[in-house]
A and B are shown apart, each in its own frame.
Chain A
């Protein structure tokens, strides 16, 4: 089958150049490729195109760093069901569910025909949050535990239904959509590119830098304008700072849930220090406003670079003490080890990505497989991989990534200090007016702290954004959490949950 073959640094793709094939050919080829571990789906979505619906697939080839793009189409009122790819490869489920929910497309033999996020413009208006079709099991010894949408802590909403045999979880189903606020639609509803950049930051506030970077990547590929290497460096520093902050925050959250107060407060203080470093750079603790298309409003000065370097070294040193303490405390290891296991083949099957996938032995990391910017030129990142797939492995991936991020920041900032000691940054101010290639599709792929973030912008004949798709890694990994708790005591749910720390808003959009 024909694909348009590109990578994560190539310019945008004219829509006319994307091969359109029959669904039968599409199905056969995608089903065959997904059987190989080197391939996984980054995105699969449908867009109305005149009187028909055109489907786009972005397939990532981890072995050769390629992005394969293909499409198929159907008449808008064609109600012939399509054979479901989810039936063959579970990793397709969120995409087919999304397409079915939005446009009423039917997938034949779809094994998990469930709403995904109840978007306001869903095809079936009778489907609502109140009648989500939860899976149930009959049996006198079983009971159900219903949690949410509002949870005990200060976190986002989502409905969790456990089916338990005594204390043991047999099945967990997670119903999401409470956070849906129409993000993707809002991108296409405005021509104000600053507003679009702010929307990208709002996809998931704890990954504001990563999502803003994916947006900037997509826009810059459409404008075709090169950017200075220093801008790439600054963005990598911001992205790694965000990664450090969140991996440390989750170390603290895991510590809290097992009553390890020392680790909790030490991690809280270190996270504060990390996000205050970001704030002292750009004025916002979450890095909102830091990443903008074509330039930056917050160029690193020599003083700021020195401040970041100093703080990061201190944070890394102290965090490593916390890590050592965790790894030498048998009471903590007893809770974290052998708990919430997701095996590698399972992770592979459901299309898991990012930090959680790496904890299960699946070396998926966009920084390595599809490097962009400074990751392609200077850093040559090797993924941090653990094999056990349990809570401890997910924590260990986090703690080792903190050390790795700190080392990258130190290196990038040091070069910066040597080169721009005088303080004149070569980075220009952002540009919100740069003309974009018309009738094109552009992909921004970034490895955020949770994993693979994929933004897709499609422009119309005038070069305006006509459709936008933003994928947070949580879209893949929520199912991994549901599988992790199977067979565990329900009292271990909190640590399993924190070990993933997935985004509700990033999923619900």
Chain B
């Protein structure tokens, strides 16, 4: 029957976001936080309370810093110490180094220094990049957001960037999850199966630091000690725009402070 299909098509309209680089997320979205050094003892106390309740210990008070690689973006710290911590809706949070995810007072962006990116990445993958995703203890939310990057709204495929089934067809691996011990070997095998040169992306707070499971005995993060990560993407889960912005910046298609 053709009429029901026409109806669906008419309602569907045009869904693709015209310019992915111009996307602004809703005000409510909790993205990159901005920190202000506490001015008096009341604020210092509030900040200490915020650091104490942080579910993943992402906040350091001396010196004051917030590690996005551990942050779950629950927003509790900003409610306890609103004058010291404020979450903006900025999704441009990917960094080429793990240290780059640490936000300090006065920072107005997550820095992305092209000098930290291996030069061959832009040379080989600038025009097309196929990735193999491996979930290693992830809770399925990062995986769904990565799936969404290729959907009808975000349509990351327009840039020649996508996900492929076989590591043999891939230019790199995206890891989600804290890396459960039961998945450690499969992840290693998959990574080895990707031909050089290749890139490695850690997507989501669980992948960046272990997140809630950093101390768990069921987790084995030695993979990240053996292999260099080219792009760290925070988030619980990482919004599709965090991934899209991070990859585009890594490939030199976008620049950031």
Residues of A within 8 A of B (CB): 118-121, 129-130, 149-150, 152-157, 177-183, 185-186, 189, 192, 194-195, 198-199, 202-206, 208, 249, 262-263, 265-266, 268-269, 272, 276, 279-286, 288-289, 297, 317-318, 321-322, 324-325, 328-329, 429, 432, 503-505, 508
Give which listed residue, A119, A121, A178, A324, contacts B183 with CB less than 8 A: A178
List of 6 A-B pairs having minimum Cβ-Cβ separation, nearest first:
A205-B141, A205-B139, A195-B55, A182-B218, A152-B165, A325-B4
* Assembly CA distance A322 to B4 (angstroms): 8
In the complex, whether B30 has a CB less than 8 A from a CB of chain A is yes
Binds A, one of B59-67, B105-113, B130-138, B246-254: B130-138
Tell whether, in the assembled complex, residue A205 and residue B138 are in contact, meaning their CB atoms are under 8 Å apart: yes
Residues 183 to 220 of chain B near chain A (Cβ within 8 Å): 183, 185-186, 190, 211-213, 215-219
B202 CB to closest chain A CB (Å) equals 15
Segment 157-203 of B: residues with Cβ below 8 Å from A: 163, 165-166, 177-178, 180-183, 185-186, 190
Contacts of A119 in B (CB 8 A): 218
Binary contact track B207-248/A, C-beta < 8 Å → 1, others 0: 000011101111100000000000000001101000000000
Chain B residues 1-44 with CB under 8 Å of chain A are: 1, 4-5, 7-9, 11-12, 15, 25-26, 28-30
- Chain A residues lying within 8 Å of B73, measured Cβ to Cβ, are 283-284, 288-289
Min CB gap B79→A, angstroms: 7
> Would you call B165 and A272 a contact (CB within 8 A)?
no
A120/B186 in contact, CB under 8 A: no
Chain B positions within 8 Å of A121 at CB level: 217
CB neighbours of A508 from chain B (8 A):
180, 182
Q: From residue B236, how far is it (CB to closest CB) to chain A in Å?
A: 6
Contacts of A157 in B (CB 8 A): 134-136, 183, 186
Known A153-B147, A206-B141: A179·B183 in contact at CB below 8 Å: yes
B contacts, CB < 8 Å to A: 1, 4-5, 7-9, 11-12, 15, 25-26, 28-30, 53, 55-56, 72-76, 79, 87, 133-148, 151-153, 163, 165-166, 177-178, 180-183, 185-186, 190, 211-213, 215-219, 236-237, 239
With A179-B135, A325-B8 given, can you name 4 additional A-B contacts, CB distance below 8 Å? Answer: A150-B190, A154-B163, A180-B137, A186-B216
Cα A503 to Cα B181 in complex, Å, equals 19
Distance of A193 from chain B, by nearest CB (Å): 9
- Are the C-beta atoms of A156 and B135 separated by less than 8 Å? yes
Residues of A within 8 A of B11 (CB): 266, 317-318, 321
Contact (Cβ within 8 A) A178 B237: no
Q: How far is the CA of A458 from the CA of B52 in the complex (A)?
A: 24
Determine the chain B residues whose CB is within 8 A of the CB of A206 once the complex forms. Answer: 140-141, 144
A sample of 23 inter-chain contacts (CB < 8 A) reads A129-B182, A149-B183, A154-B163, A157-B134, A179-B177, A181-B213, A185-B217, A205-B142, A208-B139, A265-B152, A266-B12, A268-B148, A268-B153, A269-B151, A272-B152, A284-B236, A288-B74, A288-B141, A318-B12, A321-B4, A324-B7, A325-B4, A508-B180
Question: If the complex has contacts A505-B137, A505-B140, are A118 and B182 also in contact, measured as CB distance less than 8 A?
Answer: yes
Given contacts A181-B177, A276-B26, A324-B4, contact A289 B153 (CB under 8 A): no
Among residues of B, the one whose C-beta sits closest to the C-beta of A326 is: B4
Are A186 and B135 also in contact (CB < 8 A) when A119-B218, A154-B146 are? no
Q: Bound complex: CA of A262 vs CA of B5, how far in Å? A: 8
Residue in contact with A120 in the complex, picked from B53, B140, B144, B181, CB distance below 8 Å = B181
**In the complex the two chains form, is A272's CB within 8 Å of B151's CB?**
yes
With A186-B213, A289-B75 known as contacts, the answer to whether A198 contacts B55 (CB < 8 A) is yes
The one of B87, B135, B153, B178 in contact with A269, judged by C-beta atoms closer than 8 angstroms, is: B153
B75 touches A283 (CB 8 A): yes
Q: A179-B137, A182-B219, A286-B237 are in contact. Are A266 and B8 (CB under 8 A)?
A: yes
Chain B contacts for A181, CB-based, 8 A: 137, 177-178, 180, 213, 216, 218-219
A186 to chain B: which residues have CB within 8 Å? Answer: 212-213, 216
How far, in angstroms, from A3 to B138 measured CA to CA in the complex?
A: 38
Assess whether B28 is in contact with A281, with CB atoms less than 8 Å apart: yes
**Is the pair B28, A282 in contact by a Cβ cutoff of 8 Å?**
yes
The distance from the CB of A160 to the nearest CB of chain B, in whole angstroms, is 14
**In the bound complex, CA of A194 to CA of B236 (Å):** 15
- Which A residues touch B139, using CB under 8 A? 202-205, 208, 505
A149 touches B28 (CB 8 A): no
How many angstroms between the C-alpha atoms of A177 and B218 in the bound complex?
A: 11
Q: Distance (Å) between the CB of B152 and the closest chain A CB?
A: 4
Q: Closest Cβ of chain A: how far from B102's Cβ, in Å?
A: 21
Given A182-B218, A194-B53, A205-B144, A268-B152 contact (CB < 8 Å):
yes
B29's nearest neighbour on chain A, judged by CB, is: A283
Tell me the smallest distance from the CB of A168 to a CB of chain B, in Å: 24
Q: Which residues of B contact A272 (CB under 8 A)?
A: 15, 148, 151-153
Point out the residue from A189, A282, A328, A505 that lies within 8 Å of B4, measured CB to CB: A328
Minimum distance in angstroms from A324 CB to a CB of chain B:
5
Which A residues are in CB contact (< 8 Å) with B147?
Answer: 153-154
Q: Are B29 and A178 in touch, CB under 8 angstroms?
A: no
Given known contacts A285-B239, A321-B8, A268 and B151 CB-to-CB distance under 8 angstroms: yes
Q: Are A180 and B15 in contact (CB-based, < 8 A)?
A: no
On chain A, the residues within 8 Å of B79 by CB distance are: 297, 429
Residues of A near B140 (CB, < 8 A) are 155-156, 204-206, 503-505
Cα distance A265–B26 in the bound complex, in angstroms: 23
B-chain residues with CB within 8 Å of residue A156 when the two chains form the complex? 135, 138, 140, 143
Report how far A286 CA is from B148 CA in the complex, Å: 13
| Assembly CA distance A283 to B79 (angstroms) | 14
With A198-B74, A321-B4: A269-B15 Cβ-Cβ less than 8 Å: yes
Check if A432 sits within 8 Å of B216, measured CB to CB: no
